[in-house]
Chains A and B, each alone.
Chain A
Amino acid sequence: MKTDFDILVVGGGLVGLTAALACAQAGFRIGVVDIEKPSAQLAAHHDGRASAISVASFRMMRALGVADALIEKKVRGDDTHAGPIRKILVSDGQAGATPSPLTLFFDSAQIADANDGEPLGYMVENRRMRHALHAEAKKCENITWIAPARIKDIIADDAKTTIVFDDDKTLSASLLVAADGRNSFVRRKAGIGVMSWPCHQKAIVTTVEHELPHGDIAHELFLPAGPFAILPLTGNRASIVWTETPRAADAAMALDDESFAAELSRRFGDFLGWVKPIAPRWCYPLSFQHAKTYVGERLVLVGDAAHAIHPIAGQGFNMGMRDGAALAEILVQARAEGRDLGDGFVLAQFEAWRKFDNTALTLACDMFNRLFSNNIAPVKHARRIGLSVVDKLPPVRQFFMKEASGQIGDLPPLLRGEAYKRRGGSGSERPGNIKRRGGSGSERPGNIKRRGGSGSDRPGGVVL
C-alpha cells in the first residue's frame, strides 16, 4: 500500500522535529504537520525557555547533525549557544537567608569515565535549538512541512492512517506520531486518557545577566514554595526557573522590572554579584501528566503528549528526545524485517521500551518536588540530612549524576551518538560517526523491556 508518507508527525516543536529528523535520516518519508508556519516558531518571542540537554541527548544532537549549529559557531566568530553544565549544586534554603550548609554537589569530573570527559549536560535556549533543528530539517528532502494546517479528523484502518484537514484535504501514512504537546489534540482525538495531578505551582522563566562568572555551575535551590534554579547559559548569563505558588507567581509577574530584579536578588544571594533580567518573563503552570497508554491505532505519542513533568530535574525534553530515538530505532528494525510500520507489534515495542522508563522518571520527579516544596520542619530537616548523606556517598551520587546525564537505561543508538546511515534525503553524508546498519533483522534488539509491574499505571496521585 503506497501511502503519501511513511510517517506523519503532528507537531513541529522540539520533540516533533527531533523525531522527524531521526526518522528522516534513517530514510523514511516524513510529513510534519503544524498549526503554525515554521517561520512563526522561529520568532524570538515564541519560546523563552531554555532546556537542559543531557550528555546522551547532546550526543544524539551530534548524530543528527544539529549540535554543530549549537556549539561550533564560535569558529566563525559567533557565540556558541550551548552552555556546558560541569557541576550541579543542590541546596535547601529560604529566600533572603544563606542556603543551608548541608548541600549536594555533583561534579562531572567524578563520572569522567562514563562521560568521556564531557560535562553533565548543556543548557541551550529553546529558540536556538529550534533554529538548529529547522536548518537541519531543511536539508532533508524527505521531510515535508504541512503548515499551517488544522486537523479535523484522523481515521486509521488496516492499511494506513489518514489525516483529514479542515479544508477536507487528506494525507495518509503508515504511522502517526503525536508530538503536539501537553494538550495533544491527536491524543484526545484517539480517546487516550491521561492521569494528571496538579503541583499547585507555576514556573516563571526568564534570562538574567550577572556580574560574576557562573563557572558552569547549575544551582538548584529548594525554597519552600518550590525549586529555584539558576542554569548557566553562555557568557555571564543564566536561565532562571523560579517555581512559586500560583498566587505568588502571578504577583511576581505583575511586578515592574526593578522590583522583579530585587525579588530575584533576594533569592540569588550575592555570589554572582549584581543580577539583571535581560529578557521578557514567561509564566507556565506546572502539572504532571501521563498518558494512560503511549499508543493507539497506528499512533504513538511522544514528548509532552505522552508525559509532561515538572521541570525540577530538567528531564522533560530529554525524555522526548529518548522517545524519538527509540522510535527511530524500532522503525528501522521494523523496516528491515518487512513489518508494517504501524502494526501492533511495532506499537507494543515502543510502549514497552518507553513507558517503563518515563513512568519511573515522572514519579521520581514528583516525589522529589513534593519532598522539597514544603516547609514542614521534620521533612525539611530530613531532606537536609538526606542531601548531605547522598553527598557523602559517592556511588549514590554517581548514580544520580548518570541519571541526570541520561546514561541510565537502555539507550537507542542515536543516544549513544550513532547516526543512521543516511538514505533518501540529501542530508550530507557525514564521515566519522556513521554506523552502517549491519546484517539487519537477524539481530533483534535485545533491549525491549517488558512493561513494569501492573501497578505502574496507578500512582497514588489524583486521577482525573
Chain B
Amino acid sequence: MAVTEHKTANHKTASSVDPAEMAHFAKMAEDWWNPSGKFKPLHVMNGCRVGYIKDEICAHFRRDPDEDMPLTGLHILDVGCGGGLLCEPMVRLGAQVTGVDALEKNIKAAQIHAKAAGLVIDYKYSSVEDLLDSGQEPYDVVLNMEVLEHVTDPGVFIKTCAGLVRNGGLMFCSTINRTAKAFTLAIMGAEYIMNWLPKGTHQYAKFIKPVEMVRMLKDAGLAPDEPAGMTYNPLGGSWKITGDLGVNYLIKAVNA
C-alpha cells in the first residue's frame, strides 16, 4: 500500500491511507447503496427483513413497534455487515449498532456511507472469533443475516456468535433452504436468468435446511423459535413474511 500524505480543504487523511484507495471505497459505498445497482435484491428485501427483526425484537423486549425509535437503548451486533444496509436502519430505529465484516473494504465503504449520512455506527474490521476473544461485552441482539451460507462451518460459526449474545438476548439468522426450489430460484433464477446476483454468489451445498439450522442453534445453547419464510412476489416486486420455508427463511433464537 502506498503511503502518502494527502490534504484537502476539509480533512487530512491518515498517512496510511491511499487516496486512490479511499476513492475506490467511496465508489464501493456508492455501489452498496445504489437501490438499482448490483445490490438491488438486498435493498428490495431489506424492508421485509428489517420489519421482521424490528417486530420480533419489540415483542421480545416489550417495546411498542409504532414508537418513533422503538429499539432505543438496545445494543445490536450485525455480523457480516457489508456496506451497512442493515446497520443503518437499525440505528434509525434507535439501536446502538456495531457492524463487523471480515472484508476490510466492506467496513471502509460502510464507514464512508454512515459518515456522510450523519449516523454513528461502530464498524469493526474483525472476525466474530476475534471479537469474542477480545473480551467484548455481549450484545442484546446479534444479527446473522444472509451470512451462514457463505461460511465454512456454520455450526461453529453459530456457536461463536452465540457467545456474543447476552443472557435473555436474541440471535437472528437468515439463509436459504437446500431444496430444489431454492436451487431453481436462488441460483438458476437470481444468478443465471435474472442476473440479480453475480454468478457464483451462492453454492447449493452451502444452503441450510431449517432442521439443520434449528439443531445448530440448539447445539449452541440457544432456544430457537419456529422459522418464518420470506417469499418474493415477482408481480409486486416485493418480499413478504410467509409460512413457505422453501427458499429464503429467517429464524429467531433466545439465549435463555
Contact = CB atoms under 8 A, between A and B. Distances in A.
A binds B: yes
Interface of A: 1, 27, 157-160, 333-340, 343-345, 348, 421, 423, 436-437, 439-448, 450
B50 to A, nearest CB: 5
Contacts of A443: 51, 240-241
14 contacts: A159-B118, A334-B47, A335-B68, A337-B47, A337-B54, A337-B89, A339-B89, A344-B35, A348-B35, A440-B51, A444-B238, A445-B236, A447-B236, A448-B237
B239 interface: yes
Given A338-B91, A443-B51, A446-B235, 14 more contacts: A1-B117, A336-B51, A336-B54, A339-B47, A340-B92, A345-B47, A348-B35, A440-B66, A442-B240, A443-B241, A444-B240, A445-B238, A447-B236, A448-B237
Contacts of A157: 116
Q: How large is the interface on B (under 10, 10 to 19, 20 to 34, 35 or more residues)?
A: 35 or more
B115 to A, nearest CB: 9
B237 A450 contact: yes
A442 B238 contact: no
Interface-central residue, A160, A436, A441, by most chain B CB under 10 Å: A441
Contact of A446 (B34, B36, B118, B238): B238
B47 A333 contact: yes
B22 interface: no
A463 to B, nearest CB: 25
Contacts of A448: 236-238
B119 interface: yes
The 7 closest A-B pairs by CB, nearest first: A441-B51, A338-B89, A1-B118, A158-B116, A446-B236, A442-B51, A159-B118
B92 A27 contact: no
A2 to B, nearest CB: 8
A27 B47 contact: no
B36 A344 contact: yes
Given A159-B117, A440-B55, A440-B66, A339 B36 contact: no
Nearest to B66: A437
B70 to A, nearest CB: 9
Given A1-B118, A440-B55, A158 B241 contact: no
B88 A340 contact: yes
Interface string B61-75: 000011010000000
Q: Which of B46, B54, B66, B117 has the most CB of A within 10 A?
A: B66
Contacts of B33: 343-344
B134 interface: no
A444 B235 CA distance: 13
Nearest to B71: A338
A442 B52 contact: yes
A338 B55 contact: no
B60 to A, nearest CB: 14
Given A336-B51, A437-B66, A439-B55, A444 B239 contact: yes
Contacts of A338: 50, 54, 88-93
Interface string B197-229: 000000000000000000000000000000000
Interface in B102-122: 113, 116-119
B68 A337 contact: no
Nearest to A445: B238
Contact of A441 (B43, B54, B92, B235): B54
Q: Which of A158, A343, A348, A450 has the most CB of B within 10 A?
A: A158
Given A338-B93, A339-B92, A159 B116 contact: yes
B43 to A, nearest CB: 5
> Quick one: which of A348, A436, A439, A442 has the most chain B CB within 10 A?
A442
